[in-house]
Amino acid sequence: MNAFESLIALLLRRQGYWTQTSFKVELTKAEKRAIGRPSSPRWELDLLAYKGSSNEVLAVECKSYLDSPGVGFIGGQFQPPERYKLFSEPRLRRVVLSRLGKQLEEAGATGPNPAMRLCLAAGKVARKSDRAGLVARFKTEGWGLFDEAWIRQGLADTSGAAYEDDVAFIVAKLLLRRDSENTK
């Protein structure tokens, strides 16, 4: 399991989602042809999150990019687009999310007709101009963006919660919790 995916999964669980990393979407032969990838293996999603109370499924692509320039988004497009296939290829997105919903419903993992939402978890966005374009596009498309600010806020909230045996949880407590013993 990827450490960044694990962190995002923890933060989503704290918001009431059930999570699973490296989820495989079982595309049919016809669906593989429809997306132009007839010999493609199962489509893998970095992280899947489900909230039963709203019957909502989040398909989350995770890009930490902590020691790189960050997520690039120039002129309304991801750069390079091939790193962001589900966001950059509308037909692929429709087919994969549709199959995902059917697969989860058939397995009894969701209620009927779950609401599907594509999301991006980004540890770093390249430039202010990239962020502004990214936020605008995600709002238009109805996608979810979990950026540095969302992650920091989630970790800050986590630092004050009851203990869980999870590395990210423990680090949040060590780094972000106010040291009440030293202030007494």
Alpha carbons within 13 A on the beta-carbon side of 118: 21
Q: Which residues contact 98 (CB under 8 A, 6 or more apart)?
A: 116
- What's the rounded mean pLDDT across residues 135-147? 96
**CA 35 – CA 52 distance, rounded (Å):** 30
Q: pLDDT tens across 79-112, in order?
A: 999 999 999 999 999 999 999 999 999 999 999 9
Tens of pLDDT, residues 46-87:
999 999 999 999 999 999 998 899 999 999 899 999 999 999
Q: How many CB atoms lie within 10 A of CB 105?
A: 16
CA dihedral 73, 68, 47, 53 (to 10 degrees): -60
Q: Which residues contact 49 (CB under 8 A, 6 or more apart)?
A: 9, 12, 17, 18, 19, 57, 58, 60
CA distances from 8 to 3, 60, 133, 139 (A): 9, 9, 23, 20
Q: What is the dihedral of CA 16, 12, 51, 58, to 10 degrees?
A: 170
Q: Tell me the angle at which helices 167-176 and 148-159 cross, rounded to the nearest 10 degrees.
A: 80
How far is the C-alpha of 89 from the C-alpha of 101, rounded, in Å?
A: 18
Angle between helices 3-13 and 167-176 in degrees, nearest 10:
80
The domain 3-176 having CATH identifier 3.40.1350.10: the answer here is yes
> Residues 109-122, buried b or exposed e (16+ Cβ, 10 A)?
ebeeebebbbbbbb
pTM score, two decimals? 0.90
